[in-house]
């Protein structure tokens, strides 16, 4: 029982942290909470962020190494830069945020070239979440699971079960997909559970895919390409694939193998954090969906940049779908509605409702599901 609750908590924290950890690291407000800033971060939020960061540090086993004794510090005044890092940085630039975390960067690039890479996906994500993206390349062989199946990989994005043998489970407390499903069926690894997620209408906050396609069709707009931001195991992309629509999913791996799961379903997982500029050209996609990974945890200005980046990648007449966005009741009217309004999109659907889970009731949160259409010309 203790283990179940502990694991659920860690997985929950990981999901929340996926949303905001990266932003936390980049936020000046957070680094100097006492300094006068235009938008001070409330104390309770800082406390929650600190808790999440320490959970994630624990989860990814990336607590800073214990400080060296004064004797060894004197003996090693500067860390030696790994030779492959020196070589790579002469060939191609490394994202400047990487240099802010030399200890992590050095650990990442400290490997034996042309041999097997260290198994360090946690380290890679820790760097990515701190803004070090793209990561420098390495000249080593990434590890593969010991007994992969390839002949039996499913073409169906909703297979009865995902093959456990295609994942390296070493970093996770669970060692199988059924274990993940057992402890929390809502993470997205139970494909039978996922099947109905985007096809059923339970409340006005839902927008079943059949309705979405109908809306686009009656507006004379075709949906062929989309991006699902923070899309977990790719269930939205899976549902759209059944309709012959190609959707790529941005997803991170905190606490569970979300990227592998999406790929095992035959869907493209883009390993990019929320604060990353979307890796596609301007005006090329028909649809962007933001699941509830995009919510009030994201500082307002960061959210504004995100919305304008979404606008950049959408073609004229394309759709932005905010699916179960949540914020405080007062902010929804005062902050988010005007913020979203800056895009000047047509409101095709706009539904709000009280968020009635315990944290929603405690914080007076409301959900917003909105379907917005980008004007054809600006
Ligand atoms: C998807 O494409 C396949 C092959 O072209 C076709 O048989 C199928 O009817 C299409 N499905 C939908 C929902 O359009
Ligand atoms: C939503 O919550 C507010 C208080 O937070 C309450 O006044 C209102 O009646 C609720 N609305 C519905 C539809 O339950």
pLDDT reported for residue 11:
44
Rounded to the nearest angstrom, the distance between the alpha carbon of 365 and the centre of ligand 2 is 10
Ligand number nearest CA of 352 is 2
- Whether 80 maps to a domain, the answer reads no
Rounded to the nearest angstrom, the distance between the alpha carbon of 37 and the centre of ligand 2 is 33
335 secondary structure, DSSP code = I
Atom of ligand 1 nearest to the CA of 244: 1
Cα separations in angstroms, 122 against 56, 104, 126, 364: 10, 11, 6, 35
- Whether 348 maps to a domain, the answer reads yes
Query: Beta partners for 326?
Result: 367
Please state the pTM of the whole predicted model.
Answer: 0.80
Neighbours of 362 (CB within 10 A): 9
Based on the structure, what is the number of domains in the chain?
Answer: 1
Predicted confidence (pLDDT) per residue in 333-351, tens digit? 999 999 999 999 999 999 9
Decide: helix, strand or coil at residue 113. coil
The terminus-to-terminus CA distance of the chain in angstroms comes to 57
- Whether 224 maps to a domain, the answer reads yes
**Least confidently predicted of 13-17, 111-115, 273-277, 284-288:** 13-17
- Whether 242 maps to a domain, the answer reads yes
Domain range for 302: 174-373
CATH number at residue 266: 3.40.50.150
Predicted confidence (pLDDT) per residue in 103-148, tens digit? 999 999 999 999 999 999 999 999 999 989 889 999 999 999 987 7
- Whether 27 maps to a domain, the answer reads no
Rounded to the nearest angstrom, the distance between the alpha carbon of 238 and the centre of ligand 1 is 14
């Amino acid at each position: 029982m203790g283990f179940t609750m502990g694991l659920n908590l860690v997985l929950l924290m990981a999901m929340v942290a996926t949303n905001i950890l990266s932003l936390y690291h980049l936020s000046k407000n957070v680094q100097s909470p006492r300094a006068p800033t235009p938008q001070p971060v409330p104390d309770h939020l800082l406390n929650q962020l600190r808790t999440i960061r320490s959970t994630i540090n624990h989860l990814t086993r990336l607590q800073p190494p214990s400080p060296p004794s004064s004797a060894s510090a004197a003996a090693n005044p500067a860390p030696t830069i790994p030779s492959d890092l020196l070589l790579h940085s002469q060939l191609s630039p490394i994202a400047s945020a990487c240099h802010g975390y030399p200890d992590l960067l050095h650990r990442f690039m400290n490997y034996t070239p042309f041999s097997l890479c260290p198994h360090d996906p946690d380290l890679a994500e820790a760097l990515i979440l701190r803004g070090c993206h793209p990561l420098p390349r390495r000249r080593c062989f990434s590890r593969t699971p010991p007994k992969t199946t390839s002949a039996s990989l499913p073409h169906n994005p909703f297979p009865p079960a995902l093959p456990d043998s295609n994942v390296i489970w070493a970093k996770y407390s669970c060692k199988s997909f059924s274990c993940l499903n057992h402890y929390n069926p809502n993470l997205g690894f139970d494909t039978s559970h996922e099947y109905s997620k985007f096809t059923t209408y339970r409340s006005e906050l839902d927008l079943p895919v059949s309705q979405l396609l109908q809306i686009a069709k009656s507006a004379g707009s075709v949906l062929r390409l989309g991006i699902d931001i923070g899309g977990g195991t790719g269930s939205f992309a899976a549902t759209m694939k059944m309709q012959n629509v190609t959707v790529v999913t941005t997803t991170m791996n905190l606490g569970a193998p979300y990227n592998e799961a999406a790929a095992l379903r035959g869907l493209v997982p883009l390993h990019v954090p929320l604060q990353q500029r979307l890796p596609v050209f301007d005006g090329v996609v028909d649809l962007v969906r933001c699941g509830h990974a995009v919510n009030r945890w994201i500082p307002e200005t960061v959210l504004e940049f995100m919305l304008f980046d979404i606008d950049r990648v959408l073609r004229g007449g394309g759709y932005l779908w905010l699916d179960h966005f949540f914020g405080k009741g007062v902010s929804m009217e005062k902050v988010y509605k005007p913020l979203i309004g800056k895009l000047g999109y047509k409101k095709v659907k706009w539904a709000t409702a009280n968020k009635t889970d315990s944290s929603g009731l405690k914080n007076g949160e409301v959900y917003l599901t909105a379907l917005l259409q980008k004007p054809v010309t600006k």
